[in-house]
Structure 1
Amino acid sequence: MNKCVGTTEAASLLGISSRRLRQLLEKGRVRGAYKTGKFWIIPLFNHLPQITKGTRGPKGKWRTSSPPALAKINVNRNHIGSNIKKSPQDRKPVIS
């Protein structure tokens, strides 16, 4: 049977603070650990608690580039000015 220790002793064996160990326990990253009442029971494997690796989280959105424009519209400003004075039948198309 494996020996079991509390959070303070397990943290000193791992070389981390007891608060950091409690954070790992709450995330379920300590293998075989369970809570009885207010206390954590942490089993030792080869005289050390086993910590599983965590994930890095989502990638940042600031590095993504915007998708290229689907279409470009060319508006001829000269035609806009000349169309004001013309009748609707004589107007030239503004978008080319």
Structure 2
Amino acid sequence: MSRPGSAGAADSRCPRCRAPVLRQWVGQIAAVHVVADLRPLTPSEQAAVREPNRLIWCLRQASPYTPARLAWTGRSHPAGCPHPHVTEHRCTTEPTTLF
């Protein structure tokens, strides 16, 4: 888990559904806070879940000793990219009430 303001990513769980997620700021100038599922998607799954406000991210890891980094899969992203691709997390469970 990374500390706030560091360049790494924070592996954690969704507070609502407890699914494993990756939380990370992506971008250099106008960063976007991303909470991504850790399950890699096939190309057909990527096409099925992609929406204007639900992007697909490339999950890159230089070595087993460095944190995973998310990169946007825009027009310049190579078609044969060998890295796993993930999407933004979306809970499928209802929130629990305390009362």
Determine if the TM-score, normalized by the shorter chain, exceeds 0.5.
no
Query: Which TM-score band (shorter chain)?
Result: under 0.3
Comparing both structures, which one devotes a greater share of its residues to strand? 2
Larger Rg belongs to: 1
Comparing both structures, which one devotes a greater share of its residues to helix? 1
Q: TM-score, normalising length from structure 2? A: 0.25
Q: TM-score, normalising length from structure 1? A: 0.25
Structure with larger RCO (C-alpha < 8 A, sep 6+) = 2
